[in-house]
């Protein structure tokens, strides 16, 4: 071997050493998408992260209800039409969850949400007559899907905001796993998806935000699970001393008053966790507990108006309250 | 070239690599730091543990402005001209592991970050 090639071999070895210093850590990205900030931490190559970001952009252009150019906006304007395979897969899945929750989740509640100004941020309190007129068109059973053809009932519009991030998290999880990623944490604006465990073998530690303060109420240790919280404490407005939050009860057309401040759902499927966190918040503690007993395919943490924390028994070993003084009750079968 | 020189070159490169790594780690601040990001780029960093007197400043660009208040150990948005003012109602953030303050219309994010995550640290906040 010549001196030159030896030297270059040494340099190459050193470069490899340097680059291995780099890739030992995770790849991270913060992305503005789907009306929120997403934080991705992926233990794997840079390309897997770039592919994940591209997938988010692709799904966003399909599902966004506030973007005029999205496929969903076109569907809402025309009342029916042919949609992409992705949208044609999500809508029936979302409808099944509307059915499962007895309409506590309803993807056709969008015109009511818009009347309250929660879509554009220009908040107002609609009159009783206005709500009654809009609520008449709210019924997920009026949406029919045949293949890629979707038809909406007269005056109905759909919003996939309550399920799109969960669905996206599931698709990203599939994509990352297929690319060989064994450890990643995806935070889609508070919808957390834990893939595998941390590289050191520990569970991911996901905190639940305290709805009454700026700190956290508890920490959940999870792996291969979605953790999604719904609460009325982040998006709300005040008029004449009354607080109106953004989770609309499809039955009343008004912000849900169920006695709960937040609901956190832990499930394997991000879509299920996303949909149920909203639906269980609307249902209230008693109906939510019954739903858990009937299905057992998820676990949940509830914070009620007194600040009491309720958790389903499957989470007991994974749950650590942040404050020792907090009242904690276990929901059993 | 003799094996000895070969080893020498390798040793020198190894030393350079370790020194670089040490410098990279040493440059990270040790206290609780609030990083303010605009469009994902960090535009402002405040070492919250080193704040003596509380202060306020306003970040403005073509999308609008956010007024930020800093006190020892914590930071918040006190005023903003965005429509929903979610950033203002987010309140104070301080300890490492709190959810970030986000102003979507202005593409502004305030994160409280720590270089070395202590044991029992939090990886994400569901909210």
pLDDT tens readout for residues A146-166: 999 999 999 899 999 889 999
B121: which chain A residues are within 8 Å (Cβ-Cβ)?
A: 205
Q: What is the mean pLDDT of residues A250-275?
A: 96
Per-residue confidence (pLDDT) for residue A65, from 0 to 100 = 76
Compute the distance between CA of residue A153 and CA of residue A147 in angstroms, rounded to an integer: 17
Residue A13 pLDDT greater than 70, yes or no? no
Residue B117 pLDDT greater than 50, yes or no? no
Query: ipTM score here?
Result: 0.72
Per-residue confidence (pLDDT) for residue A6, from 0 to 100 = 60
Which fold would CATH assign to domain A66-158? T-fold (1.10.3980)
Residue A14 pLDDT greater than 60, yes or no? no
Q: Compute the CA torsion angle A288, A289, A291, A296 (nearest 10 deg).
A: 130
Beta bridge partners of B64: B61
Helices A3-23 and B3-26: crossing angle, nearest 10°? 30
Rg (C-alpha) for chain B, rounded Å, is 20
Predicted confidence (pLDDT) per residue in B91-106, tens digit: 898 876 678 899 988 9
Q: What SS3 state is found at A72? A: helix
A interface test, pick of B18, B117, B126 with most A CB neighbours within 10 Å = B126
* Percentage of residues in chain A having pLDDT higher than 70: 92
Confidence category of residue A23, pLDDT binned at 50, 70, 90: very low
B interface test, pick of A15, A16, A190 with most B CB neighbours within 10 Å = A190
Predicted confidence (pLDDT) per residue in B30-57, tens digit: 578 888 888 888 888 888 888 888 999 9
Query: A4-13, A126-135, A214-223, A250-259 — which is least confidently predicted?
Result: A4-13
Name the residue among B82, B92, B122 with its Cβ closest to that of A205.
B122
Per-residue confidence (pLDDT) for residue A87, from 0 to 100 = 92
Model confidence, pTM: 0.79
CB-based contacts of B73: which residues, under 8 Å, 6+ apart?
B32, B48, B49, B51, B94
Q: What is the mean pLDDT of residues A94-121?
A: 94
Which fold would CATH assign to domain B31-113? mini-chromosome maintenance (MCM) complex, domain 2 (2.60.320)
Confidence category of residue A44, pLDDT binned at 50, 70, 90: confident
- Interface list for A 91-150 with B (CB within 8 A): 120-123
- Interface list for A 188-207 with B (CB within 8 A): 189-192, 198, 204-207
- Mean pLDDT value across chain A: 90
Name the residue among B83, B90, B126 with its Cβ closest to that of A206.
B126
Residue A92 pLDDT greater than 70, yes or no? yes
Confidence category of residue A312, pLDDT binned at 50, 70, 90: very high
Compute the distance between CA of residue A4 and CA of residue A313 in angstroms, rounded to an integer: 67
Confidence category of residue B5, pLDDT binned at 50, 70, 90: confident
B101: which chain A residues are within 8 Å (Cβ-Cβ)?
A: none
Residue A36 pLDDT greater than 80, yes or no? yes
CB-based contacts of A125: which residues, under 8 Å, 6+ apart?
A116, A239, A244
Residue A24 pLDDT greater than 70, yes or no? no
Name the residue among B95, B97, B104 with its Cβ closest to that of A36.
B104
Residue B118 pLDDT greater than 50, yes or no? no
Residue B59 pLDDT greater than 50, yes or no? yes
Give whole-number Cα distances, A195 to A36, A189, B67, in Å. Answer: 21, 16, 37
Query: Domain coordinates of chain A in residue numbers?
Result: 66-158
pLDDT higher at A206 or A64: A206
Q: What SS3 state is found at B1? A: coil
Query: A11-15, A275-279, B19-23 — which is least confidently predicted?
Result: A11-15
A264: which chain B residues are within 8 Å (Cβ-Cβ)?
A: 126
Confidence category of residue A304, pLDDT binned at 50, 70, 90: very high
């Amino acid at each position: 071997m010549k001196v030159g090639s030896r030297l270059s071999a040494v340099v190459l070895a050193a470069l490899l050493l340097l680059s291995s210093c780099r890739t030992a850590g995770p790849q991270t990205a913060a992305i503005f998408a789907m009306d929120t900030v997403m934080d991705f931490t992926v233990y794997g190559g840079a390309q897997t992260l770039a592919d994940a970001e591209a997938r988010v952009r692709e799904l966003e252009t399909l599902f966004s209800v506030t973007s005029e150019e999205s496929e969903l906006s076109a569907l809402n304007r025309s009342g029916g039409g042919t949609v992409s395979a992705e949208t044609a897969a999500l809508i029936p899945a979302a409808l099944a969850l509307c059915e499962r929750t007895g309409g506590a989740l309803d993807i056709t509640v969008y015109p009511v949400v818009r009347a309250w100004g929660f879509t554009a941020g220009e908040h107002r309190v609609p009159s009783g007559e206005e709500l009654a007129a809009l609520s008449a068109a709210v019924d997920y059973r009026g949406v029919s899907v045949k293949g890629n053809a979707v038809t909406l009932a007269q005056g109905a519009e759909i919003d996939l905001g309550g399920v799109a991030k969960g669905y996206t998290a599931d698709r990203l999880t599939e994509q990352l796993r297929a690319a060989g990623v064994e450890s990643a944490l995806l935070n889609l604006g508070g919808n957390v998806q834990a893939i595998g465990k941390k590289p050191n073998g520990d569970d991911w530690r996901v905190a639940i935000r305290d709805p009454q303060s700026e700190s956290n109420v508890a920490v959940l240790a999870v792996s291969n699970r979605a953790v999604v919280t719904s609460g009325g404490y982040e998006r709300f407005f005040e008029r004449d001393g009354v607080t109106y939050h953004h989770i609309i009860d499809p039955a009343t057309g008004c912000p849900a008053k169920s006695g709960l401040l937040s609901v956190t759902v832990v499930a394997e499927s991000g879509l299920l966790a996303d949909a149920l966190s909203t639906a269980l918040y609307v249902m209230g503690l008693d109906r939510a507990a019954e739903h858990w007993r009937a299905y057992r395919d998820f676990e949940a943490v509830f914070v009620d108006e007194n600040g009491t924390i309720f958790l389903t028994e499957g989470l007991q070993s994974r749950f650590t309250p942040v404050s020792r003084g907090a009242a904690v009750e276990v929901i059993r079968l | 070239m003799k094996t000895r020189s070969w080893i020498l070159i390798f040793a020198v490169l190894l030393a350079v690599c370790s020194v670089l790594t040490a410098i990279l780690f040493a440059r990270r601040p040790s206290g609780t730091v609030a990083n303010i990001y605009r469009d994902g780029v960090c535009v402002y960093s405040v070492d919250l543990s080193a704040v003596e007197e509380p202060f306020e400043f306003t970040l403005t660009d073509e999308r609008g402005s956010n007024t930020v208040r800093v006190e020892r150990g914590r930071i918040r948005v006190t005023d903003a001209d965005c429509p929903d003012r979610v950033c203002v109602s987010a309140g104070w953030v301080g300890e490492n592991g709190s959810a970030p303050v986000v102003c979507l219309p202005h593409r502004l994010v305030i994160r409280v970050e720590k270089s070395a995550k202590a044991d029992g640290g939090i990886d994400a906040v569901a909210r």
